[in-house]
Structure 1
Amino acid sequence: MTRELARRDGLFGPIRVLERKHDGARLYCINGSLQTLMLADGVSAFGYVHAAKILVAEAPNVLIIGGAGGSLATMLATRGHSVTVIDIDPAAEQIARDFFNLPPQVRWVTADPLHFITAQEGVFDAVIVDACDSSGIVSPFDKPGVIADLLMKACPRGSLVVNIVAEDGAPPWGGWLAAKLASLGLSVCLFRSEEGWEGNEILHVRVDGPTDRLAITDLEQRPPEARTYLMSLRPHVASHVPVPATSDNGAS
């Protein structure tokens, strides 16, 4: 059972903030789609969020594209990372701060992500793209050329991590993007979970160096909802798969 805490008109549809009565966990929903599930202690219940956090654990300065409730930003900032969130929806930041306790030290920018990165003078140690919908990943991040350019401009010496929804009916973005990016000479690993209720894949991309290392050393300290997902994550090397049946899947 849940109770509604807030309702806002968002750029992509109505936003609802809900709270579970039995444990105080808070949910950020857009058009009925769950974007954030944060437990009362400020930790995400989503396994993919924990996986992304582990992959950028050594990155002091992190950019997150796609904010929603800001659970990943909160978890990273709590661990001492410098975090910038960029989200195109003007309604998102206030919801994250008012209802999800986004720390004040997290920098939040409301802007088009690619325009922001083009104007940005410095670079980050890691970039996380968490911009998904029911089709798997939102444009323009469904294009290999955009992902490659983002890596080179925003974190050329670090990691680019992309969350991809892989639920039934969504195009096979993960394998296709991994193969395309590998063909550009980048180091690429796609993590897929073999068990659990989450339909998310994690794409880890670097200019060079290993991308298949995901050391989960404190599994018992993570939320029960995330454990099955994390325990069953497996790295997959890039291989050729057919292009997803959607429009305009060009490489730039």
Structure 2
Amino acid sequence: MIRLAKFHSEFGKIEVLRAKNTGSVIYRQGGFYQSESDINGVSVAPYIHAIFGLLAQTQARDVLMIGCGGGSLGTMLDKTGVRVTIVDINPTAFFIARKYFGLPRHIECYVADGLNFLHAVRHRYDAIILDAYTGGDIPDHLCTETFFELAHARLDETNGCLISNIWAHNDRDQFPKEMAEKLSNIWTDVRLLDTPGLWDRNTLLVAGEVEHFNAPTLLMPPTDVADDVARDLERFRFIPWRRSEQLV
């Protein structure tokens, strides 16, 4: 790895790295990779492509992202003409995303806590993406039914959907199902997109008008590692889940 920059923010140390073998740019905070993108700002993280592929199955043209990192999902959505708004509590994230990851300057970025932002706005979005982490954990107040009720109120009443990135340690980790239980108290349709069998993995929770979703495919290949990303993306599948089966 080649270190391109290091930043000390009130939310911890952030490093921007470049991979010697692929040239991809990496956003690392607190020892965790928050983003990794190619030279065009296209993510090389399979779960980002999974979110991108799910959104492509909707009519979403106005998307709110809570959590920035390198902003690669926002960059990818912008390339397809989607209006993107990004909220992050750390202003340094926006500087890094624009300088090192190619986040377009015309994308609206707000320095704010995700919950406070939803309280302040009255706009309804086609989709809300929750991908906000402090180290390896989602902040507690972004995991509450209060937060999800507010997110529901800020979504389009007809076709709006929420997609949340959940970190799962293994198949026995109950946190994704606990989160799904909370969402199912608010939305009728809640689904889990997962890669069972893998350790320390990204699991996606989707809620709203999501019953018709198919497993996503690679729609915007990154340079150099497209085959690897496509292979990892194929591991994602919707797993059977019903509220009556929770935590048993």
1:119 maps to what in 2? 120
Amino acid at match of 1:73: G
Residue 238 (structure 1) aligned with residue 237 (structure 2):
no
2:146 maps to what in 1? 145
**Residues 119-157 of structure 1: CA distance to partner in whole angstroms, max 9, x if unpaired?**
213211110000135654222122233223212234443
Amino acid at match of 2:45: F
2:228 maps to what in 1? 225
1:20 maps to what in 2? 19
Deviates more, 1:6-15 or 1:131-140: 131-140
1:249 maps to what in 2? none
Shift in Å, 1:229 = 2.9
Name the CA shift for 1:112/1:218 in 2 (closer, same or farther; >3 Å). closer
Name the CA shift for 1:55/1:216 in 2 (closer, same or farther; >3 Å). closer
In 2, Cα distance between the equivalents of 1:151 and 1:20? 39
2:63 maps to what in 1? 62
Name the CA shift for 1:44/1:197 in 2 (closer, same or farther; >3 Å). farther
CA contact (8 A) 2:18 2:24 kept: yes
1:30 maps to what in 2? 29
In 2, Cα distance between the equivalents of 1:184 and 1:151? 8
CA contact (8 A) 2:68 2:86 kept: yes
Residue 73 (structure 1) aligned with residue 77 (structure 2):
no
Name the CA shift for 1:118/1:220 in 2 (closer, same or farther; >3 Å). closer
Shift in Å, 1:76 = 0.5
CA contact (8 A) 1:198 1:229 kept: no
1:47 maps to what in 2? 46
CA contact (8 A) 1:61 1:82 kept: yes
**Residues 161-215 of structure 1: CA distance to partner in whole angstroms, max 9, x if unpaired?**
0001112599522111212322445210011113667600000011xx3335135
Residue 216 (structure 1) aligned with residue 216 (structure 2):
yes
1:247 maps to what in 2? none
Q: TM-score, normalised by structure 2?
A: 0.86
1:172 maps to what in 2? 174
Amino acid at match of 2:123: G
Deviates more, 1:45-54 or 1:173-182: 173-182
In 1, Cα distance between the equivalents of 2:172 and 2:141? 16
In 2, Cα distance between the equivalents of 1:68 and 1:241? 32
Secondary structure at the aligned position of 1:147 is classed as helix
Secondary structure at the aligned position of 2:207 is classed as strand
2:101 maps to what in 1? 100
Name the CA shift for 1:198/1:219 in 2 (closer, same or farther; >3 Å). farther
Residue 87 (structure 1) aligned with residue 91 (structure 2):
no
Aligned residues: CA RMSD: 2.5
Deviates more, 1:13-22 or 1:3-12: 3-12
Amino acid at match of 2:72: S
1:160 maps to what in 2? 162
Unaligned 5+ runs, structure 2: none
Amino acid at match of 1:15: I
Q: TM-score, normalised by structure 1?
A: 0.85
CA contact (8 A) 1:131 1:138 kept: yes
Q: How many residues align?
A: 240
Name the CA shift for 1:115/1:230 in 2 (closer, same or farther; >3 Å). same
In 1, Cα distance between the equivalents of 2:219 and 2:198? 15
CA contact (8 A) 2:125 2:154 kept: no
Secondary structure at the aligned position of 2:91 is classed as coil
CA contact (8 A) 2:215 2:237 kept: no
Shift in Å, 1:233 = 1.3
In 1, Cα distance between the equivalents of 2:110 and 2:199? 32
Secondary structure at the aligned position of 1:86 is classed as strand
